Amino acid sequence: MVEIFVLAISRLVPLTFIVSLTLIGSRYLHDLLLPTRPRLARVAFAGVSLIGLLATAPYALRASLIVGAKWATDEHRWRAVDLLLTDYDSWNGLRSEEVLRQWAFARMNVGDWRGAEQVLRFNGEPSAQTWILIGLCQYYQGNPAAESTLARVPDMTATQLCVRDYLLGRIAQKRGDFPRAYWLYGHSVRWESDFFPSVYHGARLAMLKGRPEVATSILNDFARKFPSYANDRDMHVLRDSVRAGVLPPDKEFVVVSN
């Protein structure tokens, strides 16, 4: 709620400034004409005020749409977020990277991967993180271009490299390149040690290779570092499978990120 309030204030301040300038300008012109042409002075005051109102209306509408989208995002009303940001864009709203990611995030949450990719590509110069998100959308569309998109992302800060390497690992695994997939899952966990999808598939590949002791070690190390996962359903499935010495299901985790 605090973030919504701050966002509303940040949009209200320029709007108030524009309205104030309009009132000052209309009053100045009125007073300038009043001594010699009183009737024209009233017309000028009304005209300038009307022009100012018309000029501020689109800004006020965009401000209400972006604040509403933030509110809907906090309440996880993804369809509403998509509609609000679609309207915001149609009124020539600023296509900042933050807004485009928020918009794409809403579409990802309803499974509209193609629509999310389309929004992300509105950015003429995507950042490394945006390229990861584009690759993520391509992966869940089954687009083979996902591999080259993700592989082009360099190791750099402010990017979800754990997601990049996890998805590249999944691609390698589906191709049958298990050694590379296993290495990529391990690399993904080195970026973010609590990224469970990579832990799950790393342990699963260890079982597939006939190394249950390695799978047990991976599982125990993760459970010790992150006890909050103790009640996670997939964690129970993985633990039970490893204990029983059977291969865990090849689960396709749906990664949604902004």
Q: List, for residues 232-255, the tens digit of each pLDDT value.
A: 999 999 999 999 999 999 999 999
Amino acid 60: pLDDT: 75
Is residue 101's pLDDT more than 70?
Answer: yes
69 is written with which tokens? 């989208």
Which residue did the predictor score with more confidence, 162 or 60?
Answer: 162
Contact between 155 and 161 (Cβ < 8 Å) = yes
The residue from 94, 112, 128 where one domain ends is 94
Give 12's pLDDT tier (boundaries 50, 70, 90): low
**154 within domain boundaries:** no
Residue 67 pLDDT exceeds 90: no
pLDDT tens for 153-171 read 999 988 999 999 999 999 9
Has residue 141 been placed in a domain? no
At residue 111, does pLDDT exceed 50?
yes
The CATH number for 215's domain is 1.25.40.10
pTM of the model: 0.81
Q: Decide which of 77, 94, 111 is a domain's last residue.
A: 94
- At position 40, the amino acid (one-letter code) is L
Distance in angstroms (rounded) separating the CA atoms of residues 39 and 185: 78
Find out whether 182 and 205 touch, Cβ atoms under 8 Å: yes
Q: What is each CA distance from 225 to 196, 207, 215, 219, 222, in whole angstroms? A: 12, 21, 16, 10, 5
86 and 169 inside one domain:
no
For residue 155, is it within any domain?
Answer: no
Report the pLDDT value the prediction gives residue 5, as an integer from 0 to 100.
Answer: 47
Residues in the chain: 258
pLDDT score, position 46: 60
What domain range includes position 193?
160-258
Give pLDDT, residue 124. 85
For residues 184-192, give the mean pLDDT.
96
Inside any domain, residue 107: no
Mean pLDDT of the chain: 86
Average pLDDT of 121-147?
A: 95
Q: How confident is the model at residue 61 (pLDDT cuts 50, 70, 90)?
A: confident
Is residue 208, in this structure, part of any structural domain at all?
yes
Among the three residues 94, 114, 149, which one is the final residue of a domain in this structure?
Answer: 94
Q: Given this model, what pLDDT does residue 63 score?
A: 81
Number of domains in the chain: 2
In this structure, is residue 106 part of a structural domain?
Answer: no
